[in-house]
Structure 1
């Protein structure tokens, strides 16, 4: 199977390459000149669409992970514009490439985010839940997912993976979350009652592979573990795994000063359930936060 991945050099793309290894023919869509490295083909895109199509050849599956990380910056107006525009540019170009290809892919899978659900300490969200609202991430996800609508008329199977907080020691938010504990100053963040809907990186890659392999699966999938956890309990698990104290609270007003508008990522959250994955035969390797955190922080160095 030939799989092309936009944003394939990031955290999730690298995990997919490691999972699939020699099982599939992998092409990474990149802004850099086309080349081949370590057995992986890199094809330049977002510059000359005709050349991109010629170099790609026939593609069975497109996976779109491209976009500026929401963990970067302080969410200034410039940051927010870059977060949105980077996603729309990549998605719209991907649709344009597919529309002009003679042979269409069987599946287009696009990353998305649980930020589409309103922040709340009381609501429980599934893929069927209302996503109306005007929070920044809600607006981003609504526009981001809408870019693939033209593919519906082409009869192409499309899937959206709404990622929760991805746990990995290779990047993302988790290394920053563990740093205070490693320095001996970890503790409750904000109220501590805000929910974290999380997922281990291994389960992200395995879940994407599961959708790729089952041609009956399409639409929206929450990529979160079955058991979200409140921030204070999450921090305590990190402290236990690292044998560090959980004593030093970080008040929400301070986080607003330090992080700017981005403080919402740690001071607010949502309880998001992976209802559709649980309805299938997919099994989570790390269903609980303790299992995931221990696997990451206690693994042999």
Structure 2
């Protein structure tokens, strides 16, 4: 099977590519710097201006590209967060429009930020009302762009709404730092929900959606057991064998990192309704098992000079 991926060299994309090639799928990775990566028998890096007609028939298109959310949210940063998602998605839509043989399925990343934040509501894919904060607006614009493929090309389209992805990279590296420095504890009231998911389940869920013709539209990719921040942090401290002592006031975080602090001080309780309805079996449904598997005590490897 031939699969086209954007963001294929990133945190999620690299894991997904490894899983797909292990099943002998050929992965075409759309990248702005194809010369920085080595092609193999099953991986081909291609530029964004690649002539679509030179591609073989593509079965699946997976869109994971987007500027990182981490960093101080200046006006320029927020513009980049939005544009990097909608413009790349629109480019991929254009590529599919040019393909003589259309893909069977389009899986485009989104986020549970679509729902906005709440300490008492439960969100599933049946929740149609979106939030009104910045991340919700990004998710709505992202999904609206992607859904052109379903509306105009009649290709099965999945909006993969990712929760907090746990792995050796990504958000977890930021969460573990204060705990490793013996300054760990809840953030603000600690009542905010954290809808998390292990990186292995992210990869497996994407492949599950690719193969399951009954899945389309929004899909929550989160573990079935969200945790409040105070409980999540307590489990994280336990796994790291560090004390759980301090409370970090929300105003302090807001002062330090600005609007991005909403990622830590607010949250939402999200359940993976469609995945469970289709009998997807989570490898890591429970937080403590997920954190133990990630091996948080391991020292990070030095970056390759050839990256």
Task: Determine if the TM-score, normalized by the shorter chain, exceeds 0.5.
Answer: yes
Cα deviation 1:238-274 (Å, max 9, x = unaligned): 1111110010211101100111000000000000010
**Residues in 1 aligned to 2:198 and 2:99: alpha-carbon distance in whole angstroms:** 35
**Residues in 1 aligned to 2:128 and 2:121: alpha-carbon distance in whole angstroms:** 11
**Residues in 1 aligned to 2:155 and 2:261: alpha-carbon distance in whole angstroms:** 38
Cα deviation 1:42-62 (Å, max 9, x = unaligned): 0100xx3xx331342321100
Q: CA deviation at 1:101?
A: 1.2
The aligned counterpart of 1:25 is 26
**Residues in 2 aligned to 1:11 and 1:56: alpha-carbon distance in whole angstroms:** 25
1:42 to 42, 45, 52: 45
Structure 1 position 163 matched with structure 2 position 165: no
Query: In 2, are the aligned partners of 1:95 and 1:150 still within 8 Å (CA)?
Result: yes
Q: CA deviation at 1:183?
A: 1.4
TM superposition score normalised by structure 2: 0.92
Cα deviation 1:16-55 (Å, max 9, x = unaligned): 122223421111100124675244210100xx3xx33134
Q: CA deviation at 1:155?
A: 1.7
Q: Which runs of 5+ in 2 are unaligned?
A: 300-307
Distance 1:267 1:100, change over 3 A: same
**Residues in 2 aligned to 1:102 and 1:127: alpha-carbon distance in whole angstroms:** 32
Q: CA deviation at 1:149?
A: 3.0
**Residues in 2 aligned to 1:113 and 1:226: alpha-carbon distance in whole angstroms:** 16
**Residues in 2 aligned to 1:150 and 1:130: alpha-carbon distance in whole angstroms:** 18
TM superposition score normalised by structure 1: 0.94
**Aligned-partner SS, 1:85:** helix
Q: CA deviation at 1:133?
A: 3.2
**Residues in 2 aligned to 1:211 and 1:132: alpha-carbon distance in whole angstroms:** 23
Query: In 2, are the aligned partners of 1:44 and 1:52 still within 8 Å (CA)?
Result: no
**Residues in 2 aligned to 1:10 and 1:64: alpha-carbon distance in whole angstroms:** 12
Query: In 1, are the aligned partners of 2:8 and 2:30 still within 8 Å (CA)?
Result: yes
Structure 1 position 182 matched with structure 2 position 180: yes
Name the Cα RMSD after superposition.
1.6
**Residues in 2 aligned to 1:194 and 1:160: alpha-carbon distance in whole angstroms:** 24
**Aligned-partner SS, 2:139:** helix
Query: In 1, are the aligned partners of 2:106 and 2:155 still within 8 Å (CA)?
Result: yes
Q: How does 1:22-101 map to 2 (within 5 A)?
A: 22-23=22-23, 24-33=25-34, 36-39=38-41, 40-45=43-48, 48=49, 51-71=50-70, 73-101=71-99
The aligned counterpart of 2:12 is 12
Q: CA deviation at 1:300?
A: 7.6
Q: CA deviation at 1:298?
A: 6.2
Q: CA deviation at 1:299?
A: 7.9
Query: In 1, are the aligned partners of 2:186 and 2:230 still within 8 Å (CA)?
Result: yes
